[in-house]
C-alpha cells in the first residue's frame, strides 16, 4: 500500500491531469473519428482524451480501494503453538487486533503463508489501467503518424534531421506491455502454493518491484509525450472537409424523422465506397 501511495500513484496522477487538461483545452477541436480504421462521424480531440481520463480514474479508484491483508497464524495458520503456551488468551482476537494495528485487513484463515489474493486483485486492476493507456499510446502514435498531432519535442532521428519521433509513446507502450506480462505471471504463480507452503513463489515475489517499476516508467513517458503534443486543428479540419460523406449517418436520421422510406438504403447508394 505504501508503494501504491508513494511511488505508483504520483506518475499515474500526472497522466490523468494531462488528459483532463487536454480534454478541457481541446474540447472543441473537431476531428474525424475512425471506426474499423475508416472515416466515421466527427468527434473532438478533447472528447477522446476525456474518455481515456474517465476510464483511468475509474480503474484507479478500484486500485486505491483495495485493502491488503495481513496474518498472524503460526506454522500452518492454526495458532497451535500460541494456544499451547498461553491457552487462556483469545489468540484469534489478539491476531486480528495486532494485524489491524498496521492498517491491514486480518486474514484469519491462512496457511503458513498469507494468500496473495488481494495482491493478485491489485495486479489485475493495474493491468486494466495499463491496457487503457497502451491503447492511448497506440492512438497517439497513429495521430502523430497522420500529422494530426504536432510534437514540440521527441526522439531525434540519427540520419533524418527533419524528424521528431514519438518515442515517448513507443516507450510507454513497450513498458506497459512488459509490466502487464510480469503481472500476468505473478497472478498465475501466486494464486497457488503447494499444500500448506512451498518456496517456488519466493523468487516470484522479488519481481514485484520490476512490474511496478515498468508501469511507473510507462506513465512517466506517457505524461511527457502528452505534454509535448498539440493537435493540429487546421490539418484535422482539412481531413474532415475531405470526407463530406460522413454526414450521411446524421442525414438518414433526419430523413427517417421526415418520413422518408428506407433512408439508409437511399444514402448507401449515394455514398458507400464513393468519393462524394
Alpha helices, H only, the chain: 2-3, 9-25, 45-65, 80-85, 91-100, 117-145, 167-190, 208-227, 233-241, 248-257, 263-271
Residue 243 falls in the annotated catalytic set = no
Q: Grid coordinates standing for 213? A: 517499476
Q: Note whether 237 and 243 are within 8 A (CB).
A: no
Residue 36 falls in the annotated catalytic set = yes
Q: Note whether 115 and 42 are within 8 A (CB).
A: no
Q: Which of 103, 100, 96 is nearest to 79 (CA)?
A: 96
Residue with grid cell 503518424, as numbered in its chain: 145
Q: What CA–CA distance (Å, rounded) separates 77 from 15?
A: 42
Name the active-site residue from 61, 80, 157, 249: 157
Name the active-site residue from 36, 158, 202, 261: 36
Please list, residue by residue across 188-215, b when 16 or more beta carbons sit within 10 angstroms of its beta carbon and e when fewer do: ebbeebeeeeeeebeeeeeebeebbebb
Q: Which of 93, 56, 44 is nearest to 72 (CA)?
A: 93
Question: Is 111 in a helix, a strand, or coil?
Answer: coil
How long is the chain? 276
Residue with grid cell 503456551, as numbered in its chain: 85
Task: Give the residue numbers annotated as catalytic, written as ranges.
Answer: 36, 157
Amino acid at each position: 500500500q505504501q508503494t501504491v501511495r508513494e511511488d505508483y500513484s504520483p506518475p499515474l496522477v500526472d497522466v490523468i491531469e494531462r488528459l483532463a487538461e487536454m480534454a478541457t483545452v481541446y474540447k472543441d477541436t473537431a476531428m474525424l473519428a475512425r471506426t474499423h480504421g475508416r472515416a466515421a462521424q466527427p468527434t473532438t480531440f478533447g472528447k477522446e482524451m476525456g474518455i481515456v481520463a474517465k476510464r483511468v480514474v475509474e480503474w484507479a479508484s478500484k486500485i486505491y480501494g483495495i485493502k491488503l491483508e495481513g496474518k498472524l497464524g503460526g506454522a500452518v495458520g492454526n495458532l497451535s503453538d500460541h494456544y499451547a503456551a498461553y491457552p487462556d488468551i483469545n489468540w484469534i482476537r489478539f491476531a486480528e487486533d495486532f494485524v489491524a494495528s498496521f492498517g491491514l485487513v486480518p486474514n484469519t484463515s491462512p496457511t503458513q503463508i498469507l494468500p496473495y489474493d488481494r495482491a493478485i486483485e491489485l495486479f489485475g486492476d493495474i493491468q486494466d489501467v495499463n491496457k487503457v493507456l497502451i491503447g492511448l499510446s497506440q492512438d497517439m502514435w497513429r495521430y502523430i503518424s497522420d500529422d494530426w498531432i504536432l510534437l514540440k519535442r521527441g526522439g531525434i532521428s540519427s540520419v533524418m534531421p527533419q524528424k521528431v519521433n514519438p518515442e515517448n509513446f513507443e516507450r510507454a507502450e513497450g513498458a506497459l506491455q512488459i509490466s502487464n506480462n510480469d503481472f500476468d505471471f505473478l497472478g498465475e504463480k501466486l494464486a497457488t502454493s503447494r499444500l500448506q507452503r512451498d518456496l517456488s513463489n519466493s523468487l516470484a515475489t522479488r519481481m514485484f518491484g520490476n512490474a511496478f517499476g515498468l508501469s511507473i516508467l510507462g506513465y512517466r513517458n506517457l505524461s511527457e509525450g502528452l505534454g509535448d503534443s498539440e493537435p493540429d486543428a487546421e490539418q484535422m479540419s482539412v481531413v474532415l472537409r475531405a470526407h463530406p460523406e460522413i454526414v450521411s449517418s446524421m442525414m438518414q436520421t433526419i430523413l427517417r424523422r421526415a418520413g422518408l422510406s428506407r433512408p439508409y438504403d437511399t444514402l448507401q447508394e449515394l455514398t458507400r465506397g464513393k468519393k462524394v
